[in-house]
Amino acid sequence: MAALADRLAGGLEAFERGGLRRARHVAQGDAIDFSSNDYLGLSRHPRLIAAAKAAIDAEGVGARASPLVTGYLGIHARAEERFASFTGLPRALLFASGYAANIGILTALADRSAEIFADKLNHACLNDGARLSEARFTRYPHGDLDALEARLAASTATLKVVATDAVFSMDGDVADVPRLLAACERYDAWLVLDDAHGIGVLGATGRGVLEHHAARSPRIVYMATLGKALGGYGAFVAGTPIVIDWLVQRARTYIYSTALPPSVAGAAIAALDVVDSEPHLLAALRRRVAEFRAACEALGVPLAPSTTAIQPVIVGDAARALEISRRLAARNMHVVAIRPPTVPEGTSRLRISLSAVHTRPQVEALAAALAEDLRS
C-alpha cells in the first residue's frame, strides 16, 4: 500500500511543480463571478426556483429509479416535449448530464465498424465517448474542415460520425455548422453537435447553434445542457424519432442511470419559458460582451476572436495565469486560470465568462484590472 500511495504522492508533487495541481475553493458570494457558465443568470431566477419547488411538492425529491423502470415521470415527458419544441426538432431525450449524454450518443451510434471524426479541441466527454465506442477515433486540427473532408474521403468505415463542440468552451469560437453538415451529407455521416455553450446564447432568440446557422437535417444529433445558460442541471439530446428511440434502446448512460430529480425537469421547462418570454436577458448579455471587448481593445488587452459569452485571455505560462487570477481575486473578481491538460501546453489562460447579470461598470473594471495585471 505504501508504494501505491507513494506513486500518487509523486504525481501530485509533479503537478505542483508544474503549476498544474488543482484545488477546490468554496465559492464566495461577495466576489464578482467571471467564471461561471450561468450566462443568462437563470440559476437564481425566481421562476426557476418556483418551478423546482412546485415539482418537489408534486413529485418528491427523487425519481426513484431509472427511466426504463419507474423513474420516467410526467414532468420528464413534458420537459422533453418542451425542449423538442424549443429547438424545432421532432423528439428529445433527457439525460443526467452533458457528459453522460455525449458518451451515450457516441457509444450507441458507433461500434468497431465505425469511424468517429472529432475536432482537436472538442470537450473531453466527446473524446471519451469516441474511445468507449470502440470505433476508430480520428481527430482533425481545430476548425480545419479541409482536413476533415480529406479524412472522410479516405475512410473505409461502414459508418461515419462527425462529432464537434458547437461553441468551443475554452476559446468561445463557433463551429461552421453549415460546412460540417455539407461534409456529412457528401460522405453520408452523422453530425453530433454539442451545443452546451450555445443553447440560450446563440441565435436571434437564444435557441442555439441551429438557429444561429439556420441549420436543419435529419442526420443532426443535437445535444444541449441545462447547466449553463439554462441555469440548472442535466442535458437533452434531440433529433429524429428513430434516433431518439435508438438511444432509449442502446444509450447505456440513459438506461442504467436514475432519472433526473423532478425539480430539475421542472426548472428546465421554466428556463425555456424564460428564454422565450424575457428576451432582455439575452440582449443584456450581448451588450456586456460588446462593452467588455470594446474596453479591452481600448486598453490593449488581447482577446481571442470570440463573439460569445466566453472571452479568453491567453497568458501562456500556467504559473503566470495562476498569479494573475490571484491578483484579480484580491480585487474581488473571480476569474479562474485554465491550465493543461484542459488546454494545450503553452496556452494557459484566464477564461472569462460574461453574464446578463453583470453590469457595464463591472466588465469595464475587469478590463482595467486585466490591463494592469498583464503589464506587471
Q: Which three cell numbers stand for residue 329?
A: 481575486
For residue 366, give Cα distances in angstroms to 291, 338, 358, 361, 374: 11, 17, 11, 9, 12
**352 by DSSP, 3-state: which?**
strand
Is-cis flag, bond preceding 141, omega within 30? no
> How far is 220 from 241, CA to CA, in rounded Å?
12
Q: Is 41 annotated to bind ligand?
A: no
Grid cell 419544441 — which residue?
85
DSSP code of residue 42: G
Identify the active-site residue in 212, 213, 228, 334: 228
Q: Is 240 annotated to bind ligand?
A: no
**86 by DSSP, 3-state: which?**
helix
Q: Which three cell numbers stand for residue 199?
A: 443553447
Q: Identify the burial level of 221 via C-beta atoms within 10 angstroms of its C-beta, where 0-12 means exposed, 13-18 middle and 19 or more buried.
A: buried
Q: Look at residues 172, 100, 111 and name the one whose alpha carbon lies nearest to residue 352.
A: 172
Q: Is 156 annotated to bind ligand?
A: no
For residue 243, give Cα distances in angstroms to 34, 71, 90, 92, 105: 37, 21, 10, 9, 9
Bridge partner residues of 317 (DSSP): none
- Residue 160 falls in the annotated catalytic set: no
Identify the active-site residue in 169, 257, 325, 348: 169
- Residue 36 falls in the annotated catalytic set: no
Q: Which three cell numbers stand for residue 87?
A: 429547438
**122 by DSSP, 3-state: which?**
coil
Q: Is 169 annotated to bind ligand?
A: yes
Q: Look at residues 251, 273, 246 and name the one whose alpha carbon lies nearest to residue 83.
A: 273
Identify the active-site residue in 197, 212, 213, 358: 197
Residue type for position 61: V
Q: Is 123 annotated to bind ligand?
A: yes
- Residue 197 falls in the annotated catalytic set: yes
Q: Is 306 annotated to bind ligand?
A: no
> How far is 351 from 374, CA to CA, in rounded Å?
14
Q: Is 225 annotated to bind ligand?
A: yes
Q: Is 99 annotated to bind ligand?
A: yes
**138 by DSSP, 3-state: which?**
strand
H helices present in 91-219, as ranges: 98-109, 124-133, 145-154, 177-187, 209-213
| Residue list, annotated binding site for substrate | 22, 123, 342
Residues with catalytic roles: 169, 197, 228
| Residue list, annotated binding site | 22, 98-99, 123, 169, 197, 225, 342
| Residue list, annotated binding site for pyridoxal 5'-phosphate | 98-99, 169, 197, 225
